[in-house]
Chain A
Amino acid sequence: MGFAFEEIEETIRMVQSEKLDIRTITMGISLRDCSGEDANAISKKIYDKITKKAENLVKVAEELESEFGIPIVNKRISVTPIAIVADNIKKEDFILIASSFDKAAKNVGVNFIGGYSALVHKGFTDGDLNLINSIPQVLSETERVCSSVNVATTKAGINMDAVALMGKIIKDTAELTKENDGIGAAKLVVFCNAPEDNPFMAGAFHGVGEGECVINVGVSGPGVVLAALSKLPKNADFGQISETIKKTSFKITRAGELIGRLAAKRLGTSFGILDLSLAPTPEIGDSIANILESMGLSKCGSHGTTAALALLNDAVKKGGVMASSYVGGLSGAFIPVSEDAGMIDAVEAGALSLEKLEAMTCVCSVGLDMIAIPGDTPPETISAIIADEMAIGMINKKTTAVRIIPAPGKKEGDHVEFGGLLGHAPVMKVNSFSPKDFINRGGRIPAPLHSLNN
């Protein structure tokens, strides 16, 4: 019959009981032709362009879902960093732009739109500063807008003025959305080495080197990897574990590649990249932490977790690169605490700390992600958490990010609830010794040496 019975059954099982899905089809749209000096005119151009380009995005995704029987969980849009498009408009007018952005997303039926962003790794333009200062208001007054700020790169070093500012911005954003446990901060990412073609929110934007319009796809599949590993004998060695992950990753990537190419074709645009990230969901069994535990750790966060994650991340990439012609974006295992039931469990059991999560981000994408911290954490401490994470990315030539939520009025051990894919999270302990004088110095941390790599 062309396929073995087992092959067909395996695909069906992956979808029906192991939660294989395409996590996101993200349309990247360039807004470089929408700039100008009048905020109303820019807003209109942005709205018109997004609603025209993405008019059929949801429809096509739903068709593909039906034809191939694989759920496509999210349909999203990323655009050129708005600080570039709106560099010379007035500070108070940024909210206008953000609202048209939000309306456009709602009109075409996507749940998040990314690109309310600025790239300030070397320094700020006036427009960058205006945009960053508007983030708290924008994230509290819009529903679907996601924001990101790139504050460091391996080539430029770390803009510590931006790091200091982002600590305050995150705190203000959480404060303005305190009725919802500070959910605004869950839509704000601070990056080092931000990728230009990332399809995942909240950090997606359409980079300046990208074309007019492109389709990027993110696959998922922690549940599938976990199921495959659970079929291995208890004493299987690491070579076998790696081999099993590679084969599984190959299959799920191929599914994503097929859907991405067809989506691009039907939307009359080009296929950009496939992002090989393993993205968990709050559903039981769809967890990165559980995969690490299945390798023999009694709880995620125990000693050995970083090594297990390194193996997982590397094997996913090795299997995936052969399955897709164009791999990009973040491509690594995500470890968002609130979106992963196993991570939540590990934090609640006292096995997983902020410091261990930081160590884990050295070997996987993408960084400290969806972590709730006490609402009274000083902004300088948040900035210092960002600085540490940026240093890891800068030195290791990789993307790192911080998406952290200082939950207003909550203290260590309390619980915050964001709902949906964003999940819920226990409030984690933060080191209480102050880094204030360090953060207040300002300036830049110089770019690192690219030789003598020890």
Chain B
Amino acid sequence: MSEQKAIISVIGVDRVGIIYNVSKLLAESNINILDISQTILKDIFTMIMIVDIKNSINDFNNLKEDLKNLGERLGVKIDIQKEDIFRAMHRL
């Protein structure tokens, strides 16, 4: 089976270690990062990661919960969504 992409979004106030901590959690779950992009708009930090969860050793709902908890610790909002929703909304 080919890649199974998901999109992780991190939104909140910028601080040291956001990318480090998110990447660490993903590495521990055996999730490959395919792309990272970030911007700071009106003091709000937005990072979007595209990841491949095909070989993840963490169940999707657990991963979602882990990311949410990490976000709470870092004072940002982290969510993960399967890629299909973006494909449906933005591609014909």
Contacts and interface: CB of A to CB of B under 8 A. Distances in A.
A70 interface: yes
Given A8-B9, A11-B85, A66 B60 contact: yes
A1 B60 CA distance: 22
B7 interface: yes
B37 A1 contact: yes
Contacts of A8: 7, 9, 48, 86
B9 A254 contact: no
A437 interface: no
B61 A66 contact: yes
A433 interface: no
Interface in A1-39: 1-3, 5, 7-12, 16
A7 B85 contact: no
B82 A67 contact: yes
Interface residues of A, number: 22
8 contacts: A3-B7, A5-B39, A7-B90, A66-B64, A69-B81, A69-B85, A252-B89, A257-B88
A255 B88 CA distance: 6
Contacts of A9: 9, 46, 48
A67 B7 contact: no
Contact of A7 (B11, B39, B77, B86): B86
Interface of B: 5, 7, 9, 11, 34-35, 37, 39, 46, 48, 50, 60-61, 64, 77, 79-86, 88-90
Interface string A301-332: 00000000000000000000000000000000
Contacts of B81: 67-69
B90 A68 contact: no
* Interface-centre pick from B77, B82, B83 (highest chain A CB count, 10 A): B82
A12 B89 contact: no
Given A8-B86, A11-B90, A12-B9, 12 more contacts: A7-B89, A8-B7, A9-B46, A9-B48, A11-B89, A16-B77, A66-B60, A66-B61, A68-B82, A251-B90, A258-B84, A258-B85
Main secondary structure on A side of the interface with B: helix
Given A1-B50, A5-B48, A12 B11 contact: yes
Contacts of A2: 5, 50, 83
A68 B11 contact: no
Nearest to A69: B81
Contacts of B83: 2
Contacts of B90: 3, 7, 10-11, 251
B85 A70 contact: yes
